[in-house]
Amino acid sequence: MQASLAAARDAGIAIITVNSGTDNYQEIGALTHIGQDETVAGRGAGARMAEAGATNVICVNQEVGNAGLDARCNGAQEAIEEAGGTLEVLQVDLNDIAGAQSTIGAALQADESIDAVLALGPTGAAPALAALDELGRAGDVQLATFDLSPEVLDALEAGTMAFAVDQQQYLQGYLPIVFLSLNTSNLNTVGGGQPVLTGPGFVTPENAAQVKDLAAAGTR
């Protein structure tokens, strides 16, 4: 894709990268990058968990080998360790969702001082929530996840989940068009050479119902 983008740039076409491309939007010659930096998002999630009292956290990784997910866990670990807590990564197998639930349950049993679970996506959040439910500890252990799904919004509304990290994909579609339009009509550049971050945004039990309505309307 780099060659086609270089050709576009040489032809004088303005470029903005979206969602993935944080690391190389500058060498492509893009005006800016619009997306979520996973380490920054992880730090944000970790800080929020620590603020709510989390000291012993497990980060459930459902997709071993995904660098983006590693960055989320590492970012969260930095923030939680700065606040004096600890974070351990627990690998589970997404192909075996019932087994993943049992493994999360076993981890919670093995160390009863675990007071928070961070899931890296809705597919990891579902077995984590089920495991907490089965142990009768849903709502007592702080649960948070990255990204939204109808199930995640339901859990937020029910109060069994503390928050979800939202990278606000709507913005990732909307903003580049605005930025490109301003660039062509008004020669504006946004971001000052830095990426424009659309996340982490946070969806909490307080605003989950509104986000749900907005999602139904198609803007979230």
Partner 1 sequence: MTTVTAPAAVPTSDERIANASLWKRLLVRPEFGALAGAVVVWVLFASQARSTWLSWPGTETYLSVSALYGLTAIAVALLMIGGEFDLSSGVMTGTTAMFAAIFAVEVGMNFWLGALLSLAIALGIGFLNGYMVVKSGLPSFIVTLGTFFVLRGFNLWLTQKVTGLTNVTDVYATGGSELARKVFAGTIFTIGGAQFGVEILWFLGMAAVGAWVLLRTRVGNWIFAVGGNREAARMIGVPANATKIGLFMTVALCGWIHGMVVLMKTNRANVIEGVGQEFYFIIAAVLGGCLLTGGFGSLIGAALGCLILGMTQQGIVLSRWDNNLYFLFLGLILLIAAFANEWIRRWARTASRPARPPTPEPASAASTGSSEEGAR
Residues in the site for partner 1, rule: CB under 8 A? 90-91, 93-99, 101-103, 105-107, 109-111, 123, 126-127, 130, 134-136, 149-151
Q: Which is nearer to partner 1, 32 or 74 (CB)?
A: 74
Least Å distance, CB 128 to partner 1, is 12
CB 138 → partner 1: shortest distance, Å?
Answer: 14
Question: Considering beta carbons, is residue 101 or 168 the nearer one to partner 1?
Answer: 101
Cβ 207 to partner 1, closest distance in Å? 22
Alpha-carbon gap, residue 220 to 74, rounded angstroms: 27
We find the least distance from the C-beta atom of residue 106 to partner 1, in angstroms, to be: 4
Q: Which is nearer to partner 1, 8 or 94 (CB)?
A: 94
71 or 90, CB closer to partner 1? Answer: 90
- Output the smallest distance, CB 51 to partner 1, in A: 27
Closer Cβ to partner 1, 55 or 102, answer by number: 102
Strands 201-203 and 163-166 come out as antiparallel
